[in-house]
Structure 1
Amino acid sequence: MKAIKQLLLMMMITVPLMACDTNDGPVEEMGESMDNAAEETKDAMGDAADDVGDGMEDACEEVSGENC
């Protein structure tokens, strides 16, 4: 009985560690690459929208002579 408890304890410790493999396969790497590309695209779109908004404010100020 003591041997079974020790075996179960060893399994409870080692099995979760086996799941922590750091070697990503090609599909995992491709998924991470896609996530990074989507994040960069989102950031670029946000920057472009900010630039358009700033341009519209500048144009409004030039036309009206006031802050818009």
Structure 2
Amino acid sequence: MPMDELSLPENHPNPSEADDQPTEKDCLEADLPASIQKAIAELLQGEKEQVLHLDCLSDELYGAINANL
């Protein structure tokens, strides 16, 4: 058995699945700090609107993550 399979929990999704997205919401991060939630929402909105300052929004998210660590 390959080493990477040994380190995965039994309920881990199969890495060979095409979409590689979790199918159950219970495995997603919950109770994020407000600053991170706000930065994620702004980044997603910026991607949706195809704004030119996505790099700034991305930096805001990384900053919010680092500040909360």
Q: Same fold (TM over 0.5)?
A: no
- Greater RCO structure (CA 8 Å; 6+ sep): 2
- TM-score norm. by structure 2 comes to 0.28
Q: Higher helix proportion, which one? A: 1
**Structure ID, larger Rg:** 1
